[in-house]
A and B are shown apart, each in its own frame.
Chain A
C-alpha cells in the first residue's frame, strides 16, 4: 500500500521537480517581467476573476435549485450543467462557437439585434472560462446545501423571514466555507483554461491571449521563458490549494488519519 502511495506521490512531484531543475533561475526576472508575459498574466487574472464572479452569481442560484427544488428531470439538468467538467475543453469551445458565434444559434440574434459579436473578444475568454469553471462551484455549493440542517431555514421562516431574507441571513452564512472553496476551485479552473479559450476566443495578444496560451506558444519560440511562466502558474495554483486545504479537508482530517508508526 505504502509503496504504491509513494509512487503516486512521485508521479505528481516529478514533473514539478523537472521544471525546477530546468528553470533558468539567473534570468528569471527578465522572463517574468517581459511585457507580453505580463500582459497575458494581467488578462488571465482579470478574466478568471470575472469568470469566478459570474460563476458565483449564476452558480449559487443553480445549486440552490438543484438542492432544494424537487422537479422532474432534475438529475438530467444536473448532468447537463456539470457536463463541461468532464468534456474535453476544445469540444466545449466548439460548442460555444456554434451557440454564440456570429452565425450561432443565439449569436446570430446577438449580432443582428444588438450588434454584439462575442467570438475572439476578451468577453469570449470570460464566457469560455465560466463555461468550464462554474460546475466546480455548483457541485461544491449544492453538496453544502444538501448537508445543511433544514431546520435552520424552517426556524427562520417561522420567525417572519421571507425566503430571500432566510437565504441571505441563514443559508448563505452557513454555506460560506463551501462557497469560498467552490469559488477558489472555479477560479483555479478558469485560470488554467486553455482548450475552450483558444477555440472560442482565439489567441490574440492583449485581448484573448491568456497565460496558458502564452506559455504554450512560448514553448516553441522561447522554451526557457515557458518554463519560468509555468512555474509561476504552478506557484499561484499551489498557494491557493494549500490555503484552501484547511477549509476544505480540515475538519474530518484529524479523526480519519491513522498513525503509520
Chain B
C-alpha cells in the first residue's frame, strides 16, 4: 500500500517536475509558496489534470502513464479529495452530500444514506444532516467535506489547504479535530498547505515545493534545521546563501565571497543568522571578523524590541539589531552600510 508518482507537467510559465513516494499510513505535507504548483500535484493525482510524462502508481495499479497510454478517469480512481473551500454541493443536504459518492458508484439509496449518516455522526454533524451546507460554519463544512471524501473508502486521501478558508479564531480547534479524524484513516494521505503550522501539527513528513520542484523533504525539524530553499529560509527567518566552496571561500552566482570556517568543498549552502550580523557605518579595518560586505539599507521592519534591516548589495542580507542600535546608527533606507559576520558564526552544508 503506497503511492509512487513522477509528475511532469507544463503549466505555461511553470514546469512541474515532482517525484513523490508516500507509504500507506503516512501523512505527507506539500509545503510551499503560492503558485509553486502544490494544488496541481493533487489534481494530477486525482486525475483532474492528466500528466505530460512520468507515472502515477497507487498500490501497484498504474493510474496515469502517458508513455504506456494509461489514464484512469477520476471517477475510477480510489481517491478522496477535500477541496480548498470544500466545494460542498449547495443544492443537497449534508447527508446527500456525504452519500453522493456511494450513490454515484451505484450503492442503493438506503444503504448509502445509512453509511453517510454513520460518517456524519463520526465527524459530529448529526444535527446538521438534513440542512444545506450554507447553514454550516467553516469548520463544520470542512468536516462535512472530509466525511464526503472518506465515505467512499478511498486508498488515497488528498487535502488541498483544508484550513486556509477558516478565520484565525477557529483555526486551531479545527486543526486539532482534523488531526483526530485524519488519524483514523490508514491509507496514503497528502496535505497541501502554505502554513508550516499546519504541516507541523498534521504531517509526518513535509516536502517543500518551490517553483514546480521538490527542493527538500524530511520532518519539519530536519527541513528547517538545514534550509535548502529561499522559501524555507524565509520561513525560519535566516539568510540562505547558495554557492560553491573552494579554498575555504564560498562564492555565490552573483560573485559575492563568504569566508567559512569549515572544511568543505563543492556546491554548498551557507546559513547566516540575522542576529549574528553586525552593521557598521564605516568599513571596519583591523578586525578579527573575516567577512565584511557593503550595501545599501533596504526595508526596515520593527519586531517589538528588535529591528530587521534589509541590506541590498552583491550579497543581499537581513540583519537583526536592537532598537537602540538602530537609533545609534541613524539608519535610513538608501544609506550605505557595511555588514560583518565571523566565519565561525556561519553554518555550511553541502547542497
Q: A residues near B, CB below 8 A?
A: 149, 151-152, 154-162, 165, 169-170, 173-174
A158 with B80, Cβ < 8 A, contacts A165-B104, A169-B100 known: yes
Tell me the residues in window 60-108 of chain B with beta carbons closer than 8 Å to chain A beta carbons.
73-77, 79-81, 83, 85, 87, 89-91, 100-101, 104-105
* Cα–Cα distance between A162 and B103 once the two chains are bound (Å): 11
A151 with B91, Cβ < 8 A, contacts A160-B105, A162-B75 known: no
Is B148 an interface position by the 8 A CB rule?
yes
* Cα–Cα distance between A193 and B39 once the two chains are bound (Å): 51
Chain A residue nearest to B104 in the complex (CB)? A161
Determine if A156 and B91 form an interchain contact, defined as CB atoms under 8 angstroms apart.
no
Determine if B91 and A159 form an interchain contact, defined as CB atoms under 8 angstroms apart.
no
Output the least CB separation between B129 and chain A (Å): 18
Is B183 an interface position by the 8 A CB rule?
no
Output the least CB separation between A221 and chain B (Å): 53
Is B325 an interface position by the 8 A CB rule?
no
Determine if A155 and B91 form an interchain contact, defined as CB atoms under 8 angstroms apart.
no
A170: chain B residues at CB < 8 Å are: 89
A159: chain B residues at CB < 8 Å are: 75, 100-101, 104, 148-149, 152
Is B46 an interface position by the 8 A CB rule?
yes
A149 with B104, Cβ < 8 A, contacts A158-B81, A159-B152 known: no
Chain B residue nearest to A170 in the complex (CB)? B89
* Cα–Cα distance between A154 and B80 once the two chains are bound (Å): 12
* Cα–Cα distance between A149 and B74 once the two chains are bound (Å): 18
Determine if B152 and A155 form an interchain contact, defined as CB atoms under 8 angstroms apart.
no
- Enumerate 21 A-B pairs (CB-CB under 8 Å) in ascending A order: A149-B87, A152-B89, A154-B43, A154-B87, A155-B81, A155-B87, A157-B48, A157-B75, A158-B48, A158-B75, A158-B81, A159-B75, A159-B104, A159-B149, A160-B76, A160-B101, A160-B152, A161-B104, A165-B104, A169-B100, A173-B91
B76: chain A residues at CB < 8 Å are: 160
Is chain A's interface secondary structure helix, strand, loop, or mixed overall?
helix
Output the least CB separation between B130 and chain A (Å): 17
- Write out, one digit per residue, whether chain B residues 142-157 have a CB within 8 A of any chain A CB (1) or not (0): 0000001100100000
* Cα–Cα distance between A152 and B152 once the two chains are bound (Å): 17
Output the least CB separation between A166 and chain B (Å): 8
Interface centre among A156, A158, A161, A173 (most CB of B within 10 A): A158
Tell me the residues in window 290-341 of chain B with beta carbons closer than 8 Å to chain A beta carbons.
none
Tell me the residues in window 89-134 of chain B with beta carbons closer than 8 Å to chain A beta carbons.
89-91, 100-101, 104-105
* Cα–Cα distance between A154 and B73 once the two chains are bound (Å): 11
* Cα–Cα distance between A23 and B26 once the two chains are bound (Å): 81
Chain B residue nearest to A173 in the complex (CB)? B91
Determine if B152 and A151 form an interchain contact, defined as CB atoms under 8 angstroms apart.
no
* Cα–Cα distance between A152 and B87 once the two chains are bound (Å): 6
Output the least CB separation between B29 and chain A (Å): 20
Q: Which 6 A-B pairs have the closest CB atoms?
A: A161-B104, A159-B101, A158-B81, A157-B74, A151-B87, A173-B91
* Cα–Cα distance between A156 and B90 once the two chains are bound (Å): 12
* Cα–Cα distance between A82 and B303 once the two chains are bound (Å): 62
* Cα–Cα distance between A160 and B105 once the two chains are bound (Å): 6
* Cα–Cα distance between A151 and B74 once the two chains are bound (Å): 13
A152: chain B residues at CB < 8 Å are: 87, 89
* Cα–Cα distance between A126 and B325 once the two chains are bound (Å): 87
Chain B residue nearest to A157 in the complex (CB)? B74
A160 with B104, Cβ < 8 A, contacts A154-B48, A155-B81 known: yes
* Cα–Cα distance between A69 and B291 once the two chains are bound (Å): 60
Output the least CB separation between A147 and chain B (Å): 14
* Cα–Cα distance between A161 and B101 once the two chains are bound (Å): 7
